[in-house]
Chains A and B, each alone.
Chain A
Amino acid sequence: MLEIKNVWKSYGKTTALAGVDLHVGRGETVVIMGPSGCGKSTLIRCVNRLTEPDSGEILVNGSSVLQLSDAELMAFRRKVGFVFQQFHLISRLTVLENVMFHLVLAGADRKWAEEQAVSALAKVGLHDVQGRRPEELSGGQQQRVAIARALAAEPELMLWDEPTASLDPILVGEVLEVMEGLVRTTNTTMVIVTHEVSFALRVADRIVLMDRGQIVEEGPPEVIFRAPVSEIGLKYKKLLVS
């Protein structure tokens, strides 16, 4: 479904992506791991062009994302759910509005959008906070609202950019639980950037390890964590053992 070919991205003199190639199949859950600054977030932001790659090719369902016009890009983004590390909720809107507003703006019927939003919120375990504003919620709840917002449009592809990195350890669990549930109950293709090794081990169809802008190792979790070949893989294995 998603094909990334020789993608390069630099920020000034710093190379964030150095010729990354990655293929994600439909319905597959791929977890990207690696040390901070290795280019994981940049890679998934390039997929929906929140970050413009310098070169390379990104194909989704065989169509080049980088060749899309502004209108096509917007349409493409509506089909791709994106969960940010820091939730990125619209503070002035209620929880329900946060989840439904992009559906309405995309031209959906307001009532349908509301139903979709309620349903999405239910999926993440939020039933009674629809009228609240984001600042009235805990970090975990806010992230679950963000997940619901991404789910509401029933995306073909979900991109998760370290969704638990901003949460304190107590709240991480509730988000991971939601994520794990989603992985198991939906057939959505997922690319998840995370540092949660055990979570990755449980939910990933494939784990991709990155270091210095490159994919250094990939494979099923049991292979990656049992017999890693890369330096990063060895470190994660050590972490898992401990």
Chain B
Amino acid sequence: MLSFFRDGFYKDFIALIVVTILVGTIFSAGIAWALDAYFGDTLTDMIGEYGQYDIILHVQEESKEAAYRELERIRDQQFPGARLSETITIAGQANFFFGLPEEFRTKEIMVNLAAYFAAVPGLTGHTIISDPSILIRDVHASVSEELSQKIEALPGVRFTFGDVGNMIVLLEDPILSKKLEAEIREILAEYQIVELRFPMGFEVDTAQVGEEAVRILQRTRPGREYANVTTAQYGEDLNAFLKTLVEMRDFLLSYASKVRITAQPDVFLIVGEQIAIQGQAEEALAEGGMLTGENVVIEITAVNGGQAEGMIIRGEIAPSMESLRQEGYRVFSDGKIAQAVGEVEVENERYRLAYAIDESLRLLEELEVLSVQATDAVQNADAVLNTFQEALLQLEVLQVQMRQLNQGISGGNSASAGEQLLVSLLINGLFQSLAQAAVQAGEDSLASLENLDVAAMRESLDQISEQIANVQDIDVQAIINQIQYVRDTLPMLNDEDIGRSIRLINTYIAGQVIPGERIQILVKHGRVDDEEAEKALRSGLDNPYLNIYTTSVGVINPDARSEIFRLLTEVRAIVAGLLAIVFTGAVLALDHAVVFSTLKYLRSARRARRTRWQALNPILLFGGALGAVILTAVYNLSGAEIPYLTSGSIVVIGAMVGWLVARFAERFSPVNVKEITAGQALGLSNVQIMREIVIPSSRPGLMNLLNRCRQQFRG
């Protein structure tokens, strides 16, 4: 293979490689640079020049015009000479840049800058973009003032101001940015927040436990300054949320069907285990069978000896006031029924509740009717009482008259014949007997009737009447409406929904999603190791579930603009890298492959010794080496950088590309074997064959272009 290059072609080839690398570099770097410039310009249009603006105001798109007018007013009246410009609208949100004239960039104004724009219509938020500045994100409120003083004391810092939990350090000169960033980093490193996190459900007096934690740390980790700086807001909000969750879970639990499992003597149930019952399925469950859609699956929530409680997590039982009693079986995760575990009793609480509400509604409706009827009854009773009194009075008169009449009959007083005849008629026979009996009886009855306390009865009636009136005063219809409302607003949840919700809430409450209550301790003049602090605090507070985290009091945020431009630079480097790889592959396949094809033909014609391993064929190795050289050179010269790809990786990629192109060179660029043979037979050297026969017939490309000046016969 070396003889191929030896007679002069090596010069052509070296020139080709150099030009290839140069062209590749210009190609890769150029396109990447063009992209970088394009995006850079676009970005500048979007976010303004460095230091040009101080704040971006985010406004609802529909209020854009009104907001702009208000911003113009603020500019003209409060910040004369300020720069105002509208930029892109994204997702229904318009954005305005506002840049203050230098004389307005004072601490007093910057601290309240957002407040100046509070009345802008449709304002949804803002972003401070004053430059040159350093942004310290999430500054802990406990040290904000102290940090501000320390940072403002640094030479080169104009002043600091806060913005939604962040601190912006305005610099005098952007050149000082790196230096001041390092100094601020050192200041931040003097502080540390040790955070104690308690599992969910722990009721903690943050003040008391916080002070105790401070004492523990002072005792076990002396030499630093500690202070309890727990902020209450977080814990209170979380507690409220936790309580809501717990209430919701309890409500759901009471609303769910009650499940009791009585285990067989030899069966031990465990919490979380799943038990299946027949449910509404027609066929009873049997060991070895499979679950169906009508079967019910229960998850055990509590175990007490042979008794267990659970909740339905799949399926539904029939609505009934009666308890459902069925045999329970263990069930595998694939739905296969295992051994019987005991009797399962399920009470449909929701149905009972709904039933009770319906019955209550019925009762109320009946009560309303009843009160009307009772009023009528009282009125009737009153009338009866009046009639009774009148009747009693008449009876008394009759009694007197009868007594007088009886005396008259018995005494035989002289009377007229007519009177005697009448009396004899009245008292003769049965009538006389009856009259006598009536008189005798009448005396007793009347006595007893007279003894009746009519006044008391009337009073009672009046009271009843009053109570009925009271009942009628009750707005029963309102009660009915509300009970109907309660019935209608009962959650339309079945047992499966409830079971899943309870499991989810339990997961949250278990602390897998929501952290528990926390206490924050500020550490000054030194740092505390997480593990050491955890060990000391767990032991000191006697709480093995306590988790300790240490955080900074603030994090220096890379300047957004610099970050974006750094990102663009990275993108440029990545694009350049990808283009370098593409270029190397393309130039090898479309241009250089003809050299590999010629080499392979010459090698076969000369019947060179075949290598045992095709991969070690010198031409393929040469292709690999060439690919590695071109790609590595183009990659490095174009300033390319692809994440995770080291220099070694690039060499390997180049070698692989070159090897593959050499391997399949005849497909990429076949050579005319007859013409080469003719050249050989005519006594042409390899370089002459390449220059006059092979390259001129190959694809237009760098090689062809470079060859033109050496070619003696242009054809």
Contact = CB atoms under 8 A, between A and B. Distances in A.
Partners in one complex: yes
Interface stretch (B240-248, B390-398, B644-652, B682-690): B682-690
B712 A101 contact: yes
Contact of A74 (B677, B684, B713): B684
Contacts of B683: 74-79, 102, 106
B713 A97 contact: yes
Contacts of A51: 605, 607
A101 B3 CA distance: 23
B680 interface: yes
Contacts of A91: 672, 675, 697
A105 B712 contact: yes
For the residues of B in contact with A, the DSSP-based class is helix
B7 interface: yes
B305 interface: no
Interface stretch (A80-88, A117-125, A180-188, A207-215): A80-88
A86 B682 contact: no
A134 to B, nearest CB: 10
Contacts of B7: 70-71
Interface residues of B, number: 26
B606 interface: yes
B681 A84 contact: yes
A87 B688 CA distance: 20
Interface string B1-38: 00100110000000000000000000000000000000
Interface centre among B605, B674, B697 (most CB of A within 10 A): B674
Given A70-B7, A93-B713, A93-B715, A88 B678 contact: yes
Interface in A31-53: 48, 50-52
A206 interface: no
Contact of A89 (B6, B605, B678, B712): B678
A89 B674 CA distance: 8
Contacts of B697: 91-92
Given A51-B605, A70-B3, A104-B712, A77 B681 contact: yes
Nearest to B608: A52
B623 interface: no
A210 B713 CA distance: 41
Nearest to A70: B3
B607 A52 contact: yes
A92 B677 contact: no
A149 interface: yes
A90 B681 contact: no
Contact of B682 (A87, A92, A93, A102): A102
A18 B150 CA distance: 98
Contacts of A48: 681
Which of B6, B7, B679, B697 is packed against the most chain A CB atoms within 10 Å?
A: B679
B625 interface: no
Contact of B692 (A79, A82, A101): A101
Nearest to B673: A88
Interface string B690-715: 00110011000000000000001101
A77 B689 CA distance: 14
Contacts of A75: 683
Given A70-B7, A92-B696, A105-B688, A97 B715 contact: yes
B132 to A, nearest CB: 65
A116 to B, nearest CB: 13
Interface string B467-501: 00000000000000000000000000000000000
A84 B605 contact: no
Nearest to B674: A88
A153 B682 CA distance: 9
A87 B675 CA distance: 9
A110 to B, nearest CB: 9
Contacts of B681: 48, 50, 77, 80, 82, 84, 88
B305 to A, nearest CB: 88
A63 B685 CA distance: 21
A153 B684 CA distance: 13
Nearest to B7: A70
Contacts of B607: 51-52
A51 B693 CA distance: 20
A180 to B, nearest CB: 23
A77 B682 contact: yes
A50 B677 contact: yes
Nearest to A85: B674
Interface string A64-75: 000000110011
Q: Most A CB atoms within 10 A — which of B679, B693, B713?
A: B713
A147 B684 CA distance: 17
A50 B681 CA distance: 7
Contact of A84 (B677, B688, B712, B713): B677
A82 B680 CA distance: 10
B606 A92 contact: no
Contacts of B6: 70
Contacts of B696: 92
Contacts of A97: 713, 715
Nearest to B712: A104
Contacts of A104: 712-713
Nearest to B676: A88
B461 to A, nearest CB: 133
Most buried by B among A75, A90, A106, A149: A90
Nearest to A82: B681
A88 B677 contact: yes
B405 to A, nearest CB: 165
Nearest to A152: B682
A148 B620 CA distance: 39
A92 B3 CA distance: 26
A90 B676 CA distance: 9
Nearest to B672: A91
Contacts of A77: 680-683
A131 to B, nearest CB: 12
A210 B689 CA distance: 33
Contacts of B684: 74, 102, 105
A47 to B, nearest CB: 11
Contacts of A90: 675, 678-679, 692-693
Contacts of A52: 606-607
B1 to A, nearest CB: 13
Contacts of B677: 50, 84, 88
Given A52-B607, A77-B680, A77-B683, A84 B674 contact: yes
- Most-contacted residue by chain A among B681, B685, B713 (CB, 10 A): B681
Nearest to A53: B607
A56 B19 CA distance: 46
A52 B7 CA distance: 20
Contacts of A102: 679, 682-684
Given A84-B677, A90-B678, A92-B697, A74 B685 contact: yes
B90 to A, nearest CB: 59
A128 to B, nearest CB: 20
A130 to B, nearest CB: 14
- In this complex, the member of B683, B692, B697 whose beta carbon has the largest number of chain A beta carbons within 10 angstroms is B683
A71 B328 CA distance: 99
A70 B606 CA distance: 12
Interface in B246-262: none
Interface string A137-151: 000000000000100
Contacts of A92: 696-697, 715
Nearest to B689: A105
Given A84-B678, A86-B674, A87-B674, 7 more contacts: A50-B681, A71-B7, A84-B674, A84-B677, A89-B675, A90-B692, A104-B713
Closest A-B pairs by Cβ, 6 of them:
A78-B683, A77-B683, A88-B678, A102-B682, A92-B715, A82-B681
19 contacts: A50-B680, A50-B681, A52-B606, A52-B607, A70-B3, A71-B685, A78-B682, A78-B683, A79-B683, A82-B681, A84-B674, A84-B677, A88-B677, A89-B675, A91-B697, A92-B696, A97-B713, A102-B684, A153-B682
Interface of A: 48, 50-52, 70-71, 74-80, 82, 84, 86-94, 97, 101-102, 104-106, 149, 153
